[in-house]
Amino acid sequence: MNTVINQHLFRHRESNSSAFNNLCTLVHKLPEEGTYAGEVVQGKRLLGTFRLRCDAKNELSQVNIDLSTFDALFRANVAGLTASDTYAVGKDGYVVFYASAHHDGLYVKLTKVSKENGGSTFDSRRLDNGDIVTFRLWHAGSYRISNEHGGHEAALSVLNAEDGKFPELAKRGPVRVRLSDKGFDPAKMEIWPTQPLVISVEVPAALRLQSNDSVLAKHSGPVTRGGQQLHK
Amino acid sequence: MATVNVAVNERAFNDVVMAVAKYLESVPSFSGSGSFGPFSASYSVGLKLTGGSIDLTNTGRVHFDELHLTYDPLILNLGIDLPTIPIGGECILPTPWGCSVRLPEIDLFDANPDISIPINLSNTIVSEFSGEFTVSDSKQVLVAKGSLRPHAAHFSPDTSNEIRDRFRSTVGTIPFLPTSAVNGIADAFVPFVKSNLADKWQFFLHDVWHNLELISISDTAANILRNLTDFIIDKILAPVPSIVRGVVKAILNPIFDAIAAVLDIPDDILEWLSSQLQISFGLFDLLAQLIINFVGSMVPFYQFEDPFPMIEDSSGLLPVLVPVENVSVVVNDDEFVMSADIG
């Protein structure tokens, strides 16, 4: 029998918007028209570069950029996979950065190509007001989301079916959260597996998603969640 | 010229015919396929004969009573052409004028998800064959006579494909049987004839009526089919971490509910399988025709040489051969009687 299931989808349990994987999608609105030079980096390795054109004449409201396709070795092993080095989106359009494969530790930089110095830049390692972070998880359990720039934290529960039967997951819409200077609103969330968690960022942010199982393993002292002592 | 009558009682007749019927088990397994929407299936089947009896009747017919056919091997290969299932596409920035930004879609499957699942149902399904046949005789005269033997005036070597072609022509009348299966089945009988190429009187059974029915499916087969969708999903999910299986099943279940609806698998698995094998594959018609053709014209249930060696050659003496003519057969309730003129 052909092995056909996409196993990359289940590889990761945690994610980080400043070094993301296929559990995380970043959405950034370009501030002005023009041409932007993009760099895709994995860890300390430059995977590739691209050009992004933001033009009022273009009607597209979003452009999707799959950072996995910039890995030449990955492309060589996937039949029919091609990478583009030029993208275009309309004025006030959004750029959606994501990874479809196994890659982790990804970040992307955008620099406006301009004759003047000091053109606007975007670095996914430090998100800002207007950016959107989406997490989509497969493994049930409890998680913690923390903002490494502001120290804010939120508790996330990914629900597990009691009798092994999940609800119709395809019909579950996103759960929406705001991150402001006051923290996450709401600060406790529950989602089903594969249900998107959409976080609208209003302050400088680098969001880290951790499984509480790994957090418990690292801590030597007691850990509490929801007022209950979980681990000694 | 004298007339000879040879009578065989019902029990001896039963043994003779059943011994030849056992030859069915040496026939190579044959295969076929069918498709129904996104679902396709192919099968490979062979036969074993067990049980039943053969009775002589006072109407001159031979009655086959409830011969049990066990299918071994019986391998069903089920194929499903699944649609690609994307994860994503949700709207994350709705506006009064529609959705401004959607999440990208990622395929749940790597490639075109054509799933093929082998299901082994060997020795789990049994059919019952009944029928009535008349008996006829004919003389086989082949161009080839085989090697020179003491009682042969001359011989012609067997250099032609006459015997093979005869069998292929007979088997080829079975509908929907692919050419490869025709040749494979026919060629299996060739050595049976080539062992003796002398002229012969042969006796065949000809179909009056027959009935082939599915009578039983073991619990193993029924459970496999009843849990078919779970069986297939677990095959697909083999590489998925167990902790995530429930999640992926929830995504796949609507697809398999649709497939189950296409298959229309009812609670009565016996009825469903019988229907699929009969209507979708025509399997039972195929098997019944194979049996009929087999007993009817391919291999005689009894034969003897002409001239008949009354006394075999031995110690350097010539054999005593008796020509046989005007052979006829009569069947009654007690015995099978063959009459012939000799000398």
Residue-wise pLDDT tens digits, A155-210: 999 998 877 678 777 678 899 999 999 999 999 999 999 999 999 999 999 999 99
Burial B74-90 (b: 16+ CB within 10 A, else e): bbbebbbebeebebbeb
**B36 pLDDT exceeds 70?**
no
- Asked if A164 and B116 come within 8 Å (Cβ–Cβ), the reply is no
- 3-state per-residue secondary structure call for chain B: CEEEEEEEEHHHHHHHHHHHHHHHHHCCCEEEEEEECCEEEEEEEEEEEECCEEEECCCCCEEEEEEEEEEEEEEEEEEEECCCCEEECCEEEEECCEEEEECCEEECECCCCEEEEEEECCCCEEEEEEEEEEEEEEEECCCCCCCCCCCCCCCCCCCCCHHHHHHHHHHCCCCCCCHHHHHHHHHHHHHHHHCCCCCEEEEEEEEEEEEEEEEEECHHHHHHHHCHHHHHHHHHCCCCCHHHHHHHHHHHHHHHHHHHHHHCCCCCHHHHHHHHHHHHCCHHHHHHHHHHHHHHHHCCCEEEECCEEEECCECCECCEEECEEEEEEEECCCEEEEEEEEC
Nearest to B138 by CA among B303, B317, B336: B303
Structural contact between residues A100 and A8, judged by C-beta atoms closer than 8 angstroms? yes
Q: Report pLDDT for B262.
A: 58
Instruction: Tell me what the mean pLDDT of segment A2-23 comes to.
Output: 86
Residues A25, B104: C-beta atoms closer than 8 Å: yes
Which residue matches tokens 């075109």? B112
Q: Report the chain B residue with the minimal C-alpha distance to residue A158.
A: B247
B239 in any annotated domain: yes
Q: Is B261 on the interface with A (CB under 8 A)?
A: no
B139 interfacial to chain A (CB closer than 8 Å): no
- Identify the domain containing residue B235 by its residue range: 2-77+121-141+199-310+323-342
Q: Between chains, do A9 and B87 touch, taking CB under 8 Å as contact?
A: yes
Distance from CA of A232 to the nearest CA of B (A): 26
Whether residue B284 is predicted with pLDDT greater than 90 in this model: the reply is: no
Min distance B245 CA to chain A CA atoms (Å): 9
Tell me whether residues A173 and B246 touch, CB distance under 8 A. Answer: no
Instruction: Give the gap in angstroms from C-alpha B179 to the nearest C-alpha of chain A.
Output: 28
Q: Which of A89-98, A150-159, B9-18, B215-224 has the lowest mean pLDDT?
A: B215-224
Give the pTM: 0.63
* Residue A159, min C-alpha distance to chain B (Å): 11
Contact (CB<8Å) B100/A62:
yes
Distances in Å between the alpha carbon of B307 and those of B237, B250, B313? 69, 77, 14
8 Å CB contact of A9 and B106 = yes
Q: Do A139 and B243 touch (CB under 8 A)?
A: yes
Position A222 pLDDT exceeds 50: no
- Interface check for A96 against chain B (CB to CB < 8 A): the answer is yes
Q: Nearest CA to A97 among B98, B108, B94, B103?
A: B103
Structure confidence at residue A15 (pLDDT):
96
Banded pLDDT at B174 (limits 50, 70, 90): low
Best residue of B78, B81, B82, B87 to probe chain A, by most A CBs closer than 10 Å? B87
Give the chain A residue nearest B98 (alpha carbons).
A61
B233 → chain A, closest CA residue: A5
- Is residue A187 within 8 Å of residue A155, measured between CB atoms? yes
pLDDT at A183: 95
B103 touches chain A (CB under 8 A): yes
Query: pLDDT grade, residue B302 (50/70/90)?
Result: confident
* Whether A164 and B235 lie within 8 Å, measured CB to CB: no
Report yes or no on B183 lying in a domain: no
Q: Is residue B84 part of a domain?
A: no
| B181 falls within a domain | no
User: Which residues in chain A are closer than 8 Å to B258, comparing Cβ atoms?
Assistant: none
Stronger pLDDT, A180 or B253, i.e. the higher one: A180
With contact defined as beta carbons under 8 Å apart, do B83 and B96 qualify? no
CB of A140 less than 8 A from some CB of B = yes
Q: Which of A15, A54, A231 minimizes the C-alpha distance to A144?
A: A15
- Within 8 A of B239 by CB-CB distance, chain A residues are 3, 5, 7
Question: Which positions in chain A touch B93 (Cβ < 8 Å)?
Answer: 27, 94, 132
Distance CA B203, CA A57 (A): 90
The answer to whether A135 contacts chain B (CB < 8 Å) is no
User: Residue B119: its chain A contacts at CB < 8 A?
Assistant: none
CA B162 to chain centre: 25
Three-class secondary structure of residue A202 per DSSP: coil
Number of domains, chain B: 1
Task: Establish if B114 touches chain A: CB-CB under 8 angstroms.
Answer: yes
Q: Using an 8 Å Cβ cutoff, are B92 and A27 in contact?
A: yes
Give the closest-approach CA distance of A3 to chain B in angstroms.
Answer: 7
Angle separating helix axes B162-171 and B179-194, nearest 10 degrees: 130
d(CA B273, CA B124): 12
Q: How many CB atoms lie within 10 A of CB A200?
A: 18
Angstrom distance (rounded) from CA A133 to CA A110: 17
A176: distance to nearest CA of chain B, Å? 9
Mean pLDDT throughout B47-60?
Answer: 84
For residue B209, the model assigns a pLDDT of 83
The answer to whether residue A142 scores a pLDDT higher than 80 is: yes
- Decide the pairing of beta strands A62-66 and A94-98: parallel
Q: Which of A175-179, A208-212, B127-131, B173-177 shows the lowest mean pLDDT across its residues?
A: B173-177
Q: Which residue of B has its CA nearest to A61?
A: B100
Catalogue the E-assigned strands of A115-217: 121-123, 132-135, 141-147, 153-158, 175-180, 183-185, 188-191, 197-201, 207-211
Measured CA to CA, the distance from residue B256 to residue B33 in angstroms comes to 21
**Contact status of A173 with chain B (Cβ, < 8 Å):** yes
* Contact at CB, B241 and A6, closer than 8 angstroms: no
The minimal CB distance from A1 to the residues B106, B235, B241 is found for B235
